[in-house]
Chain A
Amino acid sequence: MKIVVAGYGPAAHRFADTLTGRGFAGTLTVIGEEPRHAYDRVALTSHLSGPPGTVDLTYPEITGIGAIRLGDRVTAIDRAGRAVTTAAGHREPYDVLVLATGSAPFVPPVPGAGRAFVYRTIDDLDAIRAASAGATSGVVIGGGLLGLEAADALRGLGLATHVVEMAGWLMPRQVDEGGGAVLRGHIERLGLTVHTGVGLDRIEDDRVVLADGTEIPADVVVFSAGVRPRDELARECGLAVGPRGGVVVDEGMRTSDPAIYAIGECALAGGAVYGLVAPCFTMAEVAARRVLGEDVAFTGADTSTKLKLLGVDVASFGRLSGALDVTYMDPVGGVYKKLFVSDDARTLLGGICVGDATPYTMLRPLVGRELTASPSDLLFAGAGAAMTGADFPDDAQVCSCNNVTRGEIGKAVSDLGVTDVAGVKKCTRAGTSCGSCVPTLAAILAAEGVTLSKALCEHFDHSRPELFDIVRVRGITTFSQLIAEHGRGRGCDICKPVIASILASLGGGHVLEGEQAALQDTNDHFLANIQKNGTYSVVPRIPGGEITPEKLIVIGEVARDFGLYTKITGGQRIDLFGARVEQLPKIWRRLVDAGFESGHAYGKALRTVKSCVGSTWCRYGVQDSVGMAIALELRYRGLRSPHKIKSAVSGCARECAEARSKDFGIIATDNGWNLYVGGNGGFKPRHADLLASDLSDEALVRTIDRFLMFYIRTADRLQRTAAWVEGIGLDYLREVIIDDSLGICADLDEAMARHVEGYFDEWRATIDDPDKMRRFVSFVNAPDVPDPSIVFETERDQIKPVLVEVSRS
């Protein structure tokens, strides 16, 4: 079967993705007019949140089922001949044609409209960005969801921004007049000017003129006054279209020609056109599964929305009218909540939230059902207090993005043995799109009787933070005492390294001292990183990535003399591979004598503080990033923590050191330093969040001190700062380490001072101590015989381990 898709937006992408995921065996050709792959249009505004080219909204590429042709467009459909022709002159035969042409922004026919922009594609945003360079004022026509997004974008580009909405209040499709008024308050506090109940008369060269004569200076004008389905192709070839536009489809997304489907914003399904992404995804899935012969239907969609616009939560669900309503309005706090209920006040019909969307998550699944508490209790006591996961009927939809019901989640627990939120996400896809239902998922798990154990392992019933407090408060200094008094058995590879790390964080001396040595994982036990053939790699510390030629030569000589493989690491250091355990002390004797010290690449500890070259050399640099990186690396070296810690310092906003992918990243400003926390590369990349701005050197160090110590005390085992920050929330983190809401800052400061004062080089201390040196032998009964199983071959002039055959004899 040959399928052709006209259009390559989110709906087309989901259609192709569903086909591949379900083993489609035919060929697929997708023709998209934009010069790029499908991307997340919902997050469009974030395209302008960083410098050009830094924000990537592209969806994962779909491979293996045919061609994706970018920068081309279907121009005509030959229904009789079952083929389309394109702008580039191709003729593409099809067995099935899918129209996913989306919609086009509506541009009102007013004088001067030609110089206005629209807000739909990445190219539109790039054009707006270009026009905003050197501009000072902007006007957005349209105060709906997209209009406010556009206004946020203009504000972000530094323009004095006005919003003009013809209706009596902002976001008239999502909220009522009261909600619109509260929303307006929020937006005006951000410095935007709002005009409602007035239309546009004309656009002049440097201003717009409203119907009431008001003139607003406007270097940049953006239209966001609604969209129209792009149904021209369908009209021209005689397919049925609606009176106000949209390609008419049945509940299988089929048009009046059975070989042609329409999905997404161009489709008119059940008399409605949908502009939200969730229904468009559902349409795409229905069409794909119909093509594959499945009997599924699109029967309308929940148009509930929950979003954050200009930092304000706005949500609505269900019907926005009803016989009775209960309203809570706090203009001072900027909160507006309203529930619509049936005339007997027993059935929830819908609701609106502005400034606080907590009722949305818990109440939306209950629309159309009998209430378990009075409407005012639901509004005031907080929905979470009134509801538990058990209150949701089985057919209530919990995740609207992926259409998952309460019953399906219960089944994942009872039939598949799922025991945590991650498992629910994996089995059902619930909570994997917008994430707003994740708290509900946790509540449902609890209602299903799943208790999320905090026990570290079979030897301790406590979590890592609890054990940290026990050790700290009781002054325990050995694992044996801790497990005798607070645990059972003799420990394992989970609890022993955790306790070793806690003891080390609390200033327990050398990690190989006495009983502590037995707790260490092999990397900490040999102060090197084990590799696949049982050899180790060595990473000397190179603070900030700055190194003298003399030291570089020493590293080269050591590598040459011991026959080690060398590679530059991502953290601006040099890794030396292939050392046998008995070689490690000899290698380190040479390195220590040349002034190197341990890089702690083997530890759950501070790794490296990367830096760009900074203001000393770079013509753009505004601060000395290298100097700061070195100071920070030397301050925090050797600090043991729940997981590894990476850092970087960039000398200007160009961010060459990639600081926002680090646990703590520092970016220079004209006035000091911005501190970002909780970034991560790796499996689940995350940009770090801005914790504090324009800090002095001293304030920067103090804030990082507290951040690290608070993390070390309260994070779970192997929890990176990214997950930790997400768990406790940035606001709470700020309260604790900047406002000192818990009164522990002096304590955190003192703990870090103790660390800095107590630091010594682990490797120097090891090679100076005959007792610690005892472990560095190949065989206890033949200390000078190299391990005969370690064999190398040569590749690109360096050694490479010869792989050992793995057999399970």
Chain B
Amino acid sequence: MTLAPHAPAPPAAARTWTRVCAYADLLPERGAAALVLGRQIALFRTFDGEVFAVGNRDPFSGAYVMSRGIVGSRGAEPVVAAPMHKQVFSLVTGVCLDDPMAALPVYPVRVAGGVVEIDIATAGEVSAA
């Protein structure tokens, strides 16, 4: 699937939110892996409290380890570095900033009543193609 970054999202009412974990389970500037409907998701909580959800599979190594990367910023972009070989990915678009041909799927995510929920159905995999 190829979607532009921030493609027009389906209306909020059309989304299917799946509860994943308590917001408090996420540590600031660190990731956590989640298993949602059989898919591996990497959740991140950034310094300012925002939550991001991307695929947990590192496209370069093939291992499911993205949640264990170091969270930080490149310019104004919140990013995570793959723990295997340190390629840096945008948490907003999923695109690899060091090799834009590679990308992680990104998932809509929200915090409702202290609970982190994601919309697993509308993964946007951003591709340069």
* A interface residues, Cβ below 8 angstroms from B: 458-459, 489-493, 495-497, 515, 517-522, 525-526, 530, 532-534, 774-775, 778-782, 785, 787, 789, 803-809
- With beta carbons under 8 angstroms apart, the residue of B25, B27, B32, B75 that contacts A518 is B27
* Known contacts A518-B27, A534-B65, A805-B62: A493-B72 contact under CB 8 Å: yes
Contact with A along B22-63 (1 / 0, CB 8 A): 000111111011111000100100110000000001011111
A492 lies within 8 A of B34 (CB) = no
- 18 A-B pairs besides A518-B71, A808-B59 with CB distance below 8 A are A489-B75, A490-B29, A490-B78, A491-B72, A492-B74, A518-B28, A521-B70, A525-B30, A525-B68, A534-B63, A778-B35, A779-B35, A780-B34, A781-B35, A789-B57, A806-B61, A807-B59, A808-B102
With a CB–CB cut-off of 8 A, which chain B residues contact A493?
69-70, 72, 81, 86, 88
Contact with A along B64-88 (1 / 0, CB 8 A): 1100111111110011010110101
Q: List B residues 86-107 near A (Cβ within 8 Å).
A: 86, 88, 101-102
B102 lies within 8 A of A530 (CB) = no
A-B contact pairs, 19 of them (CB 8 A): A458-B75, A489-B74, A492-B73, A492-B79, A493-B70, A493-B72, A515-B28, A522-B83, A525-B30, A533-B63, A780-B25, A780-B26, A780-B34, A781-B20, A781-B34, A787-B40, A789-B40, A804-B63, A808-B101
In the bound complex, CA of A779 to CA of B62 (Å): 18
With a CB–CB cut-off of 8 A, which chain B residues contact A489?
72-75
With a CB–CB cut-off of 8 A, which chain B residues contact A804?
61-63
Determine the residue in chain A with the shortest Cβ distance to B38.
A788
A806 lies within 8 A of B27 (CB) = no
In the bound complex, CA of A391 to CA of B84 (Å): 46
In the bound complex, CA of A277 to CA of B16 (Å): 76
| Min CB–CB distance B97 → chain A (angstroms) | 11
With a CB–CB cut-off of 8 A, which chain B residues contact A517?
27, 30
Chain A contact surface mostly: loop
Residue among A520, A785, A806 with max Cβ neighbours from chain B (10 Å): A806
In the bound complex, CA of A491 to CA of B29 (Å): 10
B3 interfacial by beta-carbon distance below 8 Å: no
In the bound complex, CA of A489 to CA of B73 (Å): 6
- With beta carbons under 8 angstroms apart, the residue of A781, A785, A806 that contacts B62 is A806
A458 lies within 8 A of B74 (CB) = yes
Determine the residue in chain A with the shortest Cβ distance to B127.
A809
B121 interfacial by beta-carbon distance below 8 Å: no
Determine the residue in chain B with the shortest Cβ distance to A495.
B72
Residue among B26, B63, B83, B88 with max Cβ neighbours from chain A (10 Å): B63
* Known contacts A490-B72, A492-B73, A781-B34: A522-B65 contact under CB 8 Å: yes
- With beta carbons under 8 angstroms apart, the residue of A459, A781, A787 that contacts B36 is A781
B64 lies within 8 A of A780 (CB) = no
B88 lies within 8 A of A534 (CB) = no
* Known contacts A496-B70, A804-B63: A778-B33 contact under CB 8 Å: yes
- With beta carbons under 8 angstroms apart, the residue of B20, B59, B72, B81 that contacts A780 is B20
A532 lies within 8 A of B73 (CB) = no
* Known contacts A490-B47, A780-B21, A787-B64: A496-B59 contact under CB 8 Å: no
| Min CB–CB distance A493 → chain B (angstroms) | 4
With a CB–CB cut-off of 8 A, which chain B residues contact A534?
63-65
| Min CB–CB distance B58 → chain A (angstroms) | 8
With a CB–CB cut-off of 8 A, which chain B residues contact A774?
25
A780 lies within 8 A of B65 (CB) = no
With a CB–CB cut-off of 8 A, which chain B residues contact A520?
70
With a CB–CB cut-off of 8 A, which chain A residues contact B71?
490, 518
- With beta carbons under 8 angstroms apart, the residue of A459, A522, A778, A808 that contacts B69 is A522
With a CB–CB cut-off of 8 A, which chain B residues contact A491?
72-73
